[in-house]
Chains A and B, each alone.
Chain A
Amino acid sequence: MTASTLLLDAVYFALLIALGVPLGRYVARVFAGEARVAQRILGPLERVLYRLSGVRPDEEMGWKRYALSLLAFNLLGLLAVYALERLQGLLPLNPTGMGAVPSPVAFNTAVSFATNTNWQSYGGETTMSHLTQMLALTVQNFVSAATGIALVAALARGFVRKSAETIGNFWVDLTRSTLYVLLPLSLVLAVFLVSQGVVQTFNGSVTVATLDPAAPGAPGVGHQTLALGPVASQLAIKQLGTNGGGFYNVNSAHPFENPTAWSNFLELFAILIIPAALCFTWGALVKHKRLGWVLIGVMAGILIPLVLVASSAEQAGNPALRPMGVDDAASVAQSGGNMEGKEVRFGIGSSALWAAATTAASNGSVNSMHDSYMPLGGMAPLWLMQLGEVVFGGVGSGLYGLLMFAIIAVFLAGLMVGRTPEFLGKKLEAFEMKMAALVVLLPSMAVLIGTAIGSLVPQGTGTVLNPGAHGFSEILYAFSSTSNNNGSAFAGLGVTNVFYSAALGLCMLFGRYWVIVPVLAVAGALARKNLVPATAGTLPSDTPLFALLLAGTVLLVGALTFVPALALGPIVEHLQLHP
């Protein structure tokens, strides 16, 4: 690993925490209705939205009504995306004349964007019209992220309220997350990205005569057609909302989607900033500010070592290429390392950090092709997803996922000393434990059963690109990514057939809603309980000991569940390449 890579990682994490704290506190003020300046500017718009849609903002909901509202809104969004994809050929803003998206891909994509997974089974610039990118994909990028943030607010109310039947109003949480958090940040980021060269236009493409008239090109020798579109607006929320579905096929590796080192750093920063900030939001909402530091400490403590694993595996390069007379040593004149599937402007350091960050968060955007990573370099992102997307995770979903792990950790500690476990002043009983166990087990089950089926049926193995152990990794990666709502891919695997469209679509649905509903049930059950005062027997949740216990639980569950599968894929391949 090079000094510049280490410096990049250090600056990145330092800035993340430095800006995460104020943003987190701001989000907490938004939910408390105390973000005065923002409310003065955006309050009128918020009130218009409520009036037109018949929402009474002070009306409280029980957890079941909250869950039903959320599911209804997500289902309608899913149907709208599907309809727009199927009808785009007949609709305006389609300058390159895209036809209807085939129904399996359209279903898969609709699920993918409604669930905040943003798995791309399509090539953006060759499949989606501008209208679909804007009305379907950009809108879901916002509201699926806002759904996740809303849940954090609801769960916090469950912990804070005493003997209460309600956990807030879904419409208000959704609207505030969108208007006060996601929209302003996206506007600023989008305009900055344009300054770096990210395109933003309603034109479809531009054709130029290239410099070398003899070079083969498309549409003909000596010519090149460049796909354009409203990219920056889509890109900003795709990064901030841990969505990850790009405008172009290769996502943020495309120079029009990520042109410079600066755009790369900002996009990379946007991946983790909201998940990082929400740790501090949580601390503020449940009035245990130090807990925010514990949560971010656990997340960074797991992520940073895996960033280093990925960077050093990629910097070490591919031992199979060196004997051919290839120079892959890092020097002042090149980044060296494994450059297959990477861009020169990002090299190893920015690519490996992105790969780890995008899979730690359930973002799934890429600036390099993960399928071409060295076995251990690819295993780091793979395992980060398999940990359940709780290391930063999706906006909101990462935090509530980690809090479910916290419930399990407290329970384990309770078992050790023989006391009823409590967390943040609430007694945790059989019901909460069962729900937390569901949250942890169901996505893992979807990963492993899905991978098993995918590796057995011909529709699953027939579209694998790379032979041997790497091919198995492709299938494992696909099910790990979709079941945990990440969205990145070992993209060699062909996933547009009916088997993968359906199987991965179902995994995305399970991974999202089989987690959301139990989390809301926990919120509802906790809200009903009374606060118990802390005693000498209480395990305090804002100490380094608790951080270790929580990190240990996450790592242990993740290792026990997935090491056998990882041994068959990346570990075998590593041993084959390094005999």
Chain B
Amino acid sequence: MKTILRPALTLLLLFTLLLGVGYPALVTAFAQAIFPRQANGSLVESGGRPVGSELIGQSFVDPAYFWSRPSATSGVPYDGRASTGSNLGPSNPGLHERVAARVAALRAADPDNRVPVPVDLVTASASGLDPHISPAAAYWQVPRVARARGVSEEVVRRLVAGHVQERWAGFLGEPRVNVLELNLALDRIAERVSANAGASAPDPDGRKPPMDTDGHR
């Protein structure tokens, strides 16, 4: 028995040092030396302060911002401390009710918009932290955002078009728009407009949409 236990114990210990300490430490050293921005969360700064990560979605409630997808993280949407999807099955009446409510909320915020709502804008993402919406979901929101900002739809539409990321080589990834980056760009336009016209851009009393904090089991 000892001829089996001794190598079993010592090898487990040695592998724990090699693979559990040495390997992660080596990867961390490489990562922090070569890719420090990515290794620490790809943070985005605006006005000298970090306003989020380009990889992690945020909740937006102001109609003057593009809204992210519904998030199923518990308590508050886009809780970066505890990722989760809704896990609702396709036949679950609870899913159908939630989607219907989200469609209604989006329509209430933009009553003149008769276009069907793109599916990703009314379904919860896998992580609850999806940083993207589809280009279709971004274009759908253009009339509301333009109105709330007091700029022409054409300006906002061009901004969205400039932020669409396409598939690589026609097959890798999906067409998408990073919501945080798009909204940061919107704010920069607003600054330019207000600098030129001396007016303040977003309407602080814009209609607030209902919060989407579903996802509690």
Interface residues of A (CB under 8 A from B): 3-5, 7-8, 11, 49, 52-55, 65, 68-69, 72-73, 76-77, 80, 123, 125-126, 134-136, 138-139, 142-143, 171, 174-175, 178, 183, 186-187, 190-191, 194-203, 205-206, 208-212, 214-218, 224-228, 230, 232-234, 236, 248-250, 253-256, 259-262, 264-265, 317-318, 320-321, 324-328, 331-347, 349-350, 366-369, 371-375, 465-470, 473, 490-492, 494, 573, 576-577
Is B27 a contact partner of A194 (Cβ separation < 8 A)?
A: yes
Is A343 a contact partner of B126 (Cβ separation < 8 A)?
A: yes
Q: In the complex, what distance in Å separates the CA atom of A382 from the CA atom of B132?
A: 29
What string of 1s and 0s marks CB contacts (under 8 Å) between B73-116 and chain A? 00111111111111111111101100110010001000000011
Also in contact, A326 and B116, with CB within 8 A (given A142-B19, A372-B87): yes
Provide a sorted-by-A list of 10 A–B residue pairs whose CB atoms are within 8 angstroms.
Answer: A194-B31, A216-B211, A218-B79, A227-B81, A250-B83, A255-B129, A320-B96, A334-B136, A372-B95, A470-B90
Q: What are the residues of chain A within 8 A of B42 when measuring CB–CB?
A: 197, 259
Q: What are the residues of chain B within 8 A of A171 when measuring CB–CB?
A: 7, 11
CB distance from A151 to the nearest CB of B (A): 16
Q: In the complex, what distance in Å separates the CA atom of A12 from the CA atom of B10?
A: 40
Also in contact, A212 and B62, with CB within 8 A (given A187-B27, A344-B125, A344-B130): yes
Per the 8 Å Cβ criterion, residues 1-36 of B in contact with A are 4-12, 14-16, 19-21, 23-24, 26-28, 30-32, 34-35
List 19 extra interface pairs beyond A195-B38, A491-B87, CB under 8 A.
A55-B11, A183-B19, A186-B23, A191-B27, A199-B39, A208-B51, A211-B46, A212-B183, A218-B75, A224-B52, A225-B80, A255-B127, A326-B122, A332-B175, A341-B124, A347-B174, A372-B87, A492-B88, A573-B90
Q: In the complex, what distance in Å separates the CA atom of A54 from the CA atom of B69?
A: 57
Is A191 a contact partner of B87 (Cβ separation < 8 A)?
A: no
CB distance from A175 to the nearest CB of B (A): 7
Is A210 a contact partner of B19 (Cβ separation < 8 A)?
A: no
Q: In the complex, what distance in Å separates the CA atom of A310 from the CA atom of B59?
A: 31
Central interface residue in B26, B87, B116, by most chain A CB within 10 Å: B87
Is A211 a contact partner of B79 (Cβ separation < 8 A)?
A: no
- In-complex Cβ contact of B39 among A200, A216, A333 (8 A): A200
Interface residue B156 (Cβ < 8 Å from any Cβ of A): no
Is A318 a contact partner of B90 (Cβ separation < 8 A)?
A: yes
Q: In the complex, what distance in Å separates the CA atom of A422 from the CA atom of B8?
A: 36
Is B125 a contact partner of A324 (Cβ separation < 8 A)?
A: no
Q: What are the residues of chain A within 8 A of B159 when measuring CB–CB?
A: none
Q: In the complex, what distance in Å separates the CA atom of A254 from the CA atom of B27?
A: 20
Q: What are the residues of chain B within 8 A of A54 when measuring CB–CB?
A: 6-7, 10
Q: Which of B146-154, B165-173, B193-201 lies at the binding interface?
A: B165-173
Is A194 a contact partner of B38 (Cβ separation < 8 A)?
A: yes
Is B87 a contact partner of A492 (Cβ separation < 8 A)?
A: yes
CB distance from B187 to the nearest CB of A (A): 8
Also in contact, A205 and B81, with CB within 8 A (given A254-B127, A334-B136): yes
Is A233 a contact partner of B24 (Cβ separation < 8 A)?
A: yes
Give the 8 A-B residue pairs with the shortest CB-CB distance, closest first: A261-B173, A347-B174, A492-B87, A253-B126, A334-B134, A53-B10, A327-B116, A470-B89
Closest A residue to B208 by beta carbon equals A214
Q: In the complex, what distance in Å separates the CA atom of A262 from the CA atom of B172?
A: 7
Is A53 a contact partner of B6 (Cβ separation < 8 A)?
A: yes
Q: What are the residues of chain A within 8 A of B189 when measuring CB–CB?
A: none
Q: What are the residues of chain A within 8 A of B62 when measuring CB–CB?
A: 212, 214-215
Is B134 a contact partner of A335 (Cβ separation < 8 A)?
A: yes
Is A249 a contact partner of B82 (Cβ separation < 8 A)?
A: yes
- In-complex Cβ contact of A368 among B41, B50, B126, B137 (8 A): B126
Is A68 a contact partner of B4 (Cβ separation < 8 A)?
A: yes
Q: What are the residues of chain B within 8 A of A349 when measuring CB–CB?
A: 171, 174
Closest A residue to B206 by beta carbon equals A214
- In-complex Cβ contact of B41 among A138, A206, A248 (8 A): A206
Also in contact, A232 and B31, with CB within 8 A (given A259-B55, A339-B119): yes
CB distance from A64 to the nearest CB of B (A): 11
Is A334 a contact partner of B137 (Cβ separation < 8 A)?
A: yes
Q: In the complex, what distance in Å separates the CA atom of A255 from the CA atom of B117?
A: 25
CB distance from A41 to the nearest CB of B (A): 15
CB distance from A105 to the nearest CB of B (A): 16
Q: In the complex, what distance in Å separates the CA atom of A135 from the CA atom of B174?
A: 36
CB distance from A345 to the nearest CB of B (A): 5
Q: What are the residues of chain B within 8 A of A80 when measuring CB–CB?
A: 12, 16
Also in contact, A125 and B15, with CB within 8 A (given A197-B42, A326-B99): no
- In-complex Cβ contact of B103 among A201, A233, A324 (8 A): A324
Q: In the complex, what distance in Å separates the CA atom of A225 from the CA atom of B125?
A: 19
- In-complex Cβ contact of A218 among B61, B80, B84, B133 (8 A): B80
Q: In the complex, what distance in Å separates the CA atom of A274 from the CA atom of B131?
A: 32
Also in contact, A256 and B32, with CB within 8 A (given A187-B27, A320-B90, A341-B87): no
